[in-house]
A and B are shown apart, each in its own frame.
Chain A
Amino acid sequence: DTGVSQDPRHKITKRGQNVTFRCDPISEHNRLYWYRQTLGQGPEFLTYFQNEAQLEKSRLLSDRFSAERPKGSFSTLEIQRTEQGDSAMYLCASSLGENTEAFFGQGTRLTVV
C-alpha cells in the first residue's frame, strides 16, 4: 500500500505521560500536515511542513505539542504531559506540492485516561 501510513493506530496512555506518533507520507510528497479530530467534529489543522521546514503552526498547537520532519520524509508528533482533553484522533495528510490534493492517513486514536 502506498498511501499515508500512521503508527500506532490506537494509543491509550495515562494522564501526564508523553506520547509520540509517526506519519509516513506518500513517497515524494513534499508537504505534510497534521490535524486533530474530536468526536463529532471535523478535523482541525495543527501544523504543516514543506520538506523539513515547519511552515505554519495553529494556535491549537500548545507548548506541549511538538512536530518534526527531520529529513523531509516521515514526521513525528509528540505530546508531552498528556491531558484528558488531548484525547482525539490525530490525522496526517500529505500532498505533492502547490494546488494538489491532500491524501489522508487513517489516523492515530489517542485516549488519555
Chain B
Amino acid sequence: GNSVTQMEGPVTLSEEAFLTINCTYTATGYPSLFWYVQYPGEGLQLLLKATKADDKGSNKGFEATYRKETTSFHLEKGSVQVSDSAVYFCALNAGGTSYGKLTFGQGTILTVHP
C-alpha cells in the first residue's frame, strides 16, 4: 500500500537556523507529493507540491524536490523564523485526479526560538 514516513520530531531550532525535515514514501505508480502545514489553532494549509520526478516545489522560502530514485521529498528552509513554528505534514496522492485524497505522514512539530 501507500505510505509516508517523516523524521521523528519534535524539532527545535533557533531563529535563522537551517531546517530539514525528511520525508520518504512508498507508492505504486507515480504519486504527487505535498507538504502541508498546520499553525496553532488553524486548519491544514498546503505549503508546496510537486507532481513529477525532479520537480521542485517552493513557497514562503520553503523548498522540496521530488526524488524518485530515493523516494524522498525532504522539506528545507535556509533561515527559519519564529513564525514558522507549526506542525508539518508530508503527504502523497497516489495517482488519479483527486488531490484531496491524500496519504499523510505522522507530522513533525517544529519550534523556532528567538
Residues of A within 8 A of B (CB): 3-4, 31, 33, 40-45, 48, 56, 91, 93-95, 98-107
Contact = CB atoms under 8 A, between A and B. Distances in A.
Interface stretch (B12-20, B69-77, B102-110): B102-110
B107 A42 contact: yes
Contact of A104 (B41, B45, B98, B101): B45
B46 interface: yes
A93 B98 CA distance: 12
A40 B43 contact: no
Contacts of A41: 106-107
Interface string B33-64: 00010000111111001000000000000000
Contact of A42 (B4, B99, B100): B4
Contacts of B89: 42-43
Given A45-B102, A48-B98, A99-B99, A104 B107 contact: no
B21 interface: no
B43 A4 contact: yes
Interface residues of B, number: 22
Given A41-B106, A42-B105, A42-B107, A94 B100 contact: yes
B28 interface: no
A95 to B, nearest CB: 5
Contacts of B43: 3-4, 91, 103-107
A48 to B, nearest CB: 6
B51 to A, nearest CB: 8
B80 interface: no
A27 to B, nearest CB: 16
B104 A42 contact: yes
Nearest to A98: B97
The 10 closest A-B pairs by CB, nearest first: A42-B104, A102-B100, A98-B97, A104-B44, A104-B43, A33-B100, A95-B100, A106-B43, A101-B46, A43-B104
